Amino acid sequence: MLCIDTSSMIAFLEGQNGRDVELIDQALLDQVGVFAPVTVTELLSDPELTASTRNTISAIPVLPILNGFWERAGILRAKVLKRGRKAKLADTLIAQSCIDHQTTLVSRGQDFEIFKKLAGLKLL
């Protein structure tokens, strides 16, 4: 499985170039692309989203939230904040979803590097 972050999915939908876009294209062809639940919320929050794009987003499977998720996410965020680093709530929830499911996250954002370092997030 390859978990697709919001930043990379937007680049994919806009037809941008990049390694992440190529990985998403292949993951969707192979039917191994997934979203963290928060990513779906972020993507569907765009007021200018077309029905076609909404349908594309809705067709991609979403990782289920496992028991204890909220507690683990809170502890993870506390670890990051304790080190004086920023940890956006949405990024923390996406990272914890990927960690729980042992799936790799593809993202353009650099904010996930701290989760890789502290919690073993697999990141492309």
Q: Could you count the other beta carbons within 10 Å of the beta carbon of residue 97?
A: 25
62-95 pLDDT, tens digit each: 999 999 999 999 999 999 999 988 889 999 999 9
Confirm if 111 and 77 have CB atoms less than 8 A apart: no
Phi, psi dihedrals of residue 34, rounded to the nearest 5°:
-140, 165
For the chain, domains (ranges, CATH) are: 2-119 (3.40.50.1010)
Which whole number is the average pLDDT over 109-117? Answer: 87
CA-to-CA distance for 96 and 36, rounded, in angstroms?
9
Q: Are 12 and 25 in contact (CB under 8 A)?
A: yes
Question: Residue 44 above 90 pLDDT?
Answer: yes
Arithmetic mean of pLDDT, 30-49:
94
Average pLDDT value for residue range 32-59: 94
Contact at 8 Å (CB) between 95 and 112? yes
